[in-house]
Amino acid sequence: MSKFELARSSSAARFSAVGAGSQVPIRRISIICNDTDYFLRHRRAPADDLVDSGHHVRVLTGGEPLSSGEEGGWKHVGVSVKRWSFAPLADLRLIGQTMREVLVEKPDSLHLITLKPIVVAGMAAIVARALSGRDMSIVATVPGLGRLMSPGSTMRGRSAKITRYLVGRAVSFMSRRRNVKFTFETVADYNMWVGKGLVPAQAAQVIGGAGVDPAVFYPGSSTREGGPLRVLFASRLLKSKGLDVFVRAAQMLRGSEGVEFIVAGMVEPDDPDAVSIVDLAKEPAIHFLGKRNDMGDLLRQVDVVCLPTRYGEGIPRILIEASATGIPSIVSEHEGCREIVEDGRTGVVVYDTVGERAAKGVAKAIASYRDDRDLLRRHGAAAREKFVHGDFAEQGVVKQFTDLLASNAP
């Protein structure tokens, strides 16, 4: 009988071994995330680990339903999340679904991931927790500031200003309730939220990224020799992720020998910032792969990762994956990028983020690797070293989240 089955068989056996000679009570844990695909790619590991430790886990996500083969030992429930805007009907449904989750399922811990679940589901959870009379713990994970809360946000106008104010008030209210913890991926995001008084320092913690599995992301058996320099953009297909800059750099270098530009990413058909996959498929300067689920293998077939992002994100996972694989990255001067990429050591930082100057900077960095393969190898080795000696492996990140959700649950 598995630990999970044993835990379910008797309320008297609500304990699970975690580590040699130690026991912690079995917990009921609910996770609410904005998008199924994002959860599976970035946040699944802690849920799997909690299930393996015998805890009861429910995962509620917006977006597409799970496909065959994506299910875990946790229970999945689809919920209503409108990711890019205020949507009264969808948000009301999310409020109702969250209150039901807290009042009916009675989780000991609730994990809210990304801004929409934090604000909408978080406020509903605070109310439902008070009605239930139970001291459920709440963990709110902010992967990045997003388009709304970033200091350089392109979302302007009165409505955006009002929305930012309301979000700030909601976060401030939540963070000052008992047994609520906020986690951030970067020190910069932590400092901004704490510095502005949105979250008290005692309720905030930095957990660097989502972690990657070194059993999946590791260097190839031998360095690729000969052939063109393969440069990969792998992310959501958004202009704010720097895809427009990457394509423009490819157009600038088109015709010069020795460089191949590759784009792989998730389609965001409803996002107003999305780049058309039809246009990408027709663009002669790049090779468009579409969505890929074999990133470890793909990274071992390329030489450089390029992410000139201007999106308000935390530490981009693709950069950690590149570092683990032992290849350098070309990035923008974004705080999350700088957490993993050291300019002139593990990659190149481009200090312009938009327009022709940004594209020229990216093209220049790519040309430097094309013309100096020893530089490419040195930066790749340093990137791998940074991963090995850093705190980016999945195991360490997972433990920090499971400690928050299980060990510290009431």
Residues 252 and 199 in one domain: no
Residues 272 and 128 in one domain: no
The residue segments making up the domain with residue 204 are 3-211+393-407
Q: Considering the domain boundaries, does residue 198 fall inside one?
A: yes
Q: What is the mean pLDDT of residues 84-93?
A: 77
Output the pLDDT for position 127. 97
Q: Which residues are within 8 A (CB) of 6 and not within 5 positions of it... i.e. 6 or more apart?
A: 13, 54
Output the pLDDT for position 77. 94
Residues 195 and 125 in one domain: yes
More confident residue, 38 or 256: 38
User: Residue 296 in contact with residue 325, Cβ under 8 Å?
Assistant: yes
Q: 């409020």: which residue's tokens?
A: 95
- Average pLDDT of every residue of the chain: 87
Which pair of structure tokens corresponds to residue 251?
């157009």
Residues 269 and 201 in one domain: no
Residues 280 and 133 in one domain: no
Query: Tens of pLDDT along 115-132?
Result: 899 999 999 999 999 999
Output the pLDDT for position 103. 97
Q: Considering the domain boundaries, does residue 20 fall inside one?
A: yes
Output the pLDDT for position 30. 98
Q: What is the mean pLDDT of residues 163-184?
A: 91
Residues 169 and 62 in one domain: yes
Q: Considering the domain boundaries, does residue 285 fall inside one?
A: yes
Q: Considering the domain boundaries, does residue 219 fall inside one?
A: no
Output the pLDDT for position 402. 94
Per the structure, the count of domains in the chain is 2
Among 156-165, 192-201, 381-390, which is the least confidently predicted range? 156-165
Q: What is the mean pLDDT of residues 330-359?
A: 93
- Give the strand pairing for 75-78 and 109-113: unpaired
Tell me which DSSP letter residue 347 carries. E
More confident residue, 118 or 167: 118
Output the pLDDT for position 70. 81
Residues 153 and 89 in one domain: yes
Q: Under the phi-then-psi rule, with left for phi > 0, alpha for psi from -120 to 50, and beta for the rest, what region is 311?
A: beta
In this predicted structure, the answer to whether residue 223 has a pLDDT above a threshold of 90 is no
Residues 19 and 138 in one domain: yes
Output the pLDDT for position 137. 96
What are all long-range contacts of 364-373, with beta carbons under 8 Å and residues at least 24 apart? 365/330, 366/229, 366/231, 366/249, 366/253, 366/259, 366/304, 366/306, 366/330, 367/253, 367/256, 367/259, 369/229, 369/303, 369/304, 369/328, 370/229, 370/258, 370/259
Output the pLDDT for position 89. 83
Q: Distance between CA atoms of 89 and 86, rounded to whole angstroms?
A: 9
Residues 163 and 185 in one domain: yes
Q: What is the mean pLDDT of residues 341-365?
A: 94
In this predicted structure, the answer to whether residue 159 has a pLDDT above a threshold of 90 is no
Q: Considering the domain boundaries, does residue 145 fall inside one?
A: yes
Residues 238 and 256 in one domain: yes
Output the pLDDT for position 293. 87
In this predicted structure, the answer to whether residue 1 has a pLDDT above a threshold of 60 is no
For residue 193, the domain's CATH number is: 3.40.50.2000
Output the pLDDT for position 354. 83
Q: Considering the domain boundaries, does residue 367 fall inside one?
A: yes
Which pair of structure tokens corresponds to residue 148?
């709304």
Among 80-84, 143-147, 310-314, which is the least confidently predicted range? 143-147
Q: What is the mean pLDDT of residues 111-115?
A: 94
Q: What is the mean pLDDT of residues 60-76?
A: 87
More confident residue, 70 or 222: 70
Output the pLDDT for position 12. 36
In this predicted structure, the answer to whether residue 184 has a pLDDT above a threshold of 80 is yes
Among 131-145, 154-168, 304-318, 365-379, which is the least confidently predicted range? 154-168
Question: What amino acid occupies position 298?
Answer: L
Q: What is the mean pLDDT of residues 209-233?
A: 86
Q: Considering the domain boundaries, does residue 220 fall inside one?
A: no
Of all residues in the chain, what percent carry a pLDDT higher than 90? Answer: 64
Residues 207 and 263 in one domain: no
Residues 238 and 129 in one domain: no
Q: Considering the domain boundaries, does residue 70 fall inside one?
A: yes
In this predicted structure, the answer to whether residue 226 has a pLDDT above a threshold of 80 is no
Q: Distance between CA atoms of 191 and 184, rounded to whole angstroms?
A: 10
Q: What is the mean pLDDT of residues 289-318?
A: 92
